[in-house]
Structure 1
Amino acid sequence: MEALLYEHAGDNKVVCNLCHHRCTIKDGARGICNVRENQEGTLVTLVYDRIIARHVDPIEKKPLFHFYPGSLVYSIGTVGCNFRCKFCQNADIAHMATDYQGRIMGKALSPQQIVEEAELTGSRSIAYTYTEPTVFFELALEAARQAREKNIASVFVTNGYMTPEAVDMISPYLDAANVDLKAFTEAFYKKYCSARLQHVLTTLKKLRENGVFLEITTLLIPGLNDADAELKDLAGFIADELGTQTPWHISRFHPTYRLTDRPSTPVETLRKARQIGMDAGLKYVYTGNVPGEAFENTFCPQCNAVAISRRGFSVVENRVENNQCPDCGARIHGVGLS
């Protein structure tokens, strides 16, 4: 299928304008994502209907804690990614085409079938996830359009590298996004992701401006992105540019893929990072990948009462009424909380 958001550049080359890499692709070659190919001057998506993973999940697993909490989400993904994260947790599918000589696998599933399955499973939303939804943008866009007609919401779990053009195109059909803000230095993004921090920050602000509900996730890796000063800057950006009501999920790292020389993140580091976020004025800061941790609950930002209690990815009790704390009446921010 012909891809969206590209332009011709002469000599049968094309420029892909889907993500901030803006790859110039020669005839017969692919972009950095390895799933968009120049075929005689036409940019083609190789994963339009090639679903490599699909599951029905609790929305909390994305993680989204302030978007229809306790609901089900139909999650799908294809092969491919436009980042090269050394700590990728889904490398077997995200980097399949890169690590295995261009291989692309997946089951044929049309946008209509995706929406039908979401409806049959009672899912309140569809999440485009597991790898990077930007690289299967055409599929996600059409499925989101059809889902909107069925009153099914659409969610991106993304690295935030979409161009402004892509954000503008998807925003009318995109209800929420969890964006990985992986660190707050250009050096980290360059060395460990083969990307640039500034482009992610631009996308985050653009998503907010376009009315997409946002939650942020940061995977803390010992010695690489967990310095107090960096975390203060990161939390300050969220508070100042995205709003203090923006939930921030701080997740525990475990050695994986090509980053196995680092230990798992100490739980105390997560708790310290959470306090840094709270000190920056953020109302909702969560620690993740730590089963049984109290900070997976949602606390009222005014009286500190537990508004939504969780155990793992399950909502044990949701006490929010009309988006308000039942104890003091303060606003609890989010979508579909009660």
Structure 2
Amino acid sequence: MGLKEARLYEKENAKVRCNVCAHRCSIPEGGYGICRTRQNRGGKLYTLIYGCVSSAHTDPVEKKPLFHFFPGSLAFSLGTVSCNFRCRHCQNWSISTAKPGDFCTAETEMSPEEVVSRAKREGCDGIAWTYNEPTIWFEYAYDCAKLAKRAGLYTVFVTNGFLTEEALNEVAPFLDAANVDVKAFSEGFYRKVCGARLKPVLETCERMLERGVHLELTYLVIPGYNDSDEEIGRFSEWVVWGLDASVPVHFSAFYPAYKMLEVPPTSVAGLERAHEIAKAAGVEYVYLGNVPGHEYENTFCPECGELLVERSGHRDRLRISGPEPKCPRPGCGKSLNIRL
């Protein structure tokens, strides 16, 4: 495995254009895409990481984080190497900056059939592509997802959202849920800190909802970079008016990492301020991450405030049930955007 002809590319004379992520790299003979995992060989585009697994663990689905998608379930979670972003604050930089040759050996390979088999063997309810960006692993994730659905497993992308409409159209029929990491709400941040653009990420979120993919968002709050009231307010208003007020939002605490070691950690007060702004904008479900034990890890009814899901670590205590859960408080009965 490792080497496999890519999906979604077109020839441009001696070059090939990759149409999996929004960079749409035009790659000369022998060259690589920005992700360093896709190469033009003889006028054909190849992925170099098909089946190359750098990390594999069984995780609670809440760790993705997905709080409204089969809470209490387990996801067999896979990652590979490299990334199509260059985030200066990446917490998984050891694999996102790695090249295929750093990890890809016969010992690290896993076929799609093996992935599904291991997920079932470990008692998992689904499979998640996470730890680094699943878009650059598109061919492998796509093949795994098709097999997973046949086996009765759910499928999850934990993604930066920088995939093309063509890629989403291909994988969406086999993708149940996604957590999209919205890095900030400014093009300047995306260019300077991530080497990417914001607009394609927002478009992906909108398209996921249109295609019936369960969507949750993570926003890592970085002091001095993306934590102003104005920016968080614009982000929150986009969630309400550009997506849906019921889309869950996770504001997570930043801790110094990689090339941003000089930036202080996010204060609890800073996270609580983000929560306050989002709720005021009309976001119904707002959570705080990387602050274990905080009350805003729990799910409350956005209508009456009833406690619906109590969380301790990654363990949940549900006070709701049924395929179309509603608030159990007498006189409320609000329909909840939670899949059980």
The TM-score bracket by the shorter chain reads: over 0.9
Aligned partner of 1:197 in structure 2 is: 198
**Counterpart amino acid of 1:246?**
V
The percent of aligned pairs where both chains have the same amino acid is 46
TM-score by length of 2: 0.96
**Superposed CA offset, 1:23-42 (max 9, x none):** 01111111000111111111
Aligned partner of 1:299 in structure 2 is: 300
**Counterpart amino acid of 2:142?**
L
TM-score by length of 1: 0.96
Q: Secondary structure at the match of 2:321?
A: coil
Aligned partner of 1:10 in structure 2 is: 13
1:104, distance to aligned residue in structure 2 (A)? 4.2
Q: Residues of 2 paired with 1:326 and 1:334: CA distance?
A: 14
Please tell me whether residue 329 in structure 1 is matched to residue 313 in structure 2.
no
Moved over 6 A (4+): none
Q: Secondary structure at the match of 2:82?
A: coil
Provide the alpha-carbon RMSD of the alignment.
1.1
1:83, distance to aligned residue in structure 2 (A)? 0.2
Aligned partner of 1:28 in structure 2 is: 30
Q: Secondary structure at the match of 2:256?
A: coil
Deviates further, 289-298 or 89-98: 89-98
Aligned partner of 2:73 in structure 1 is: 71
Please tell me whether residue 165 in structure 1 is matched to residue 169 in structure 2.
no
Structure 1 unmatched ranges of 5 or more: none
The 5-angstrom pairing of residues 1-338 of structure 1 reads: 1-11=4-14, 13-97=15-99, 103-105=102-104, 107-315=108-316, 317-322=317-322, 323-327=325-329, 328-336=332-340
Contact 1:320 1:332 in 2 (8 A): no
Q: Secondary structure at the match of 1:55?
A: strand
Contact 1:160 1:204 in 2 (8 A): yes
**Superposed CA offset, 1:152-211 (max 9, x none):** 010000000000000100000000000001100000000000001111111111111111
**Counterpart amino acid of 1:304?**
G
**Counterpart amino acid of 1:105?**
C
Q: Residues of 2 paired with 1:40 and 1:332: CA distance?
A: 52
Q: Residues of 1 paired with 2:72 and 2:103: CA distance?
A: 34
1:298, distance to aligned residue in structure 2 (A)? 0.4
Q: Residues of 1 paired with 2:104 and 2:61: CA distance?
A: 26
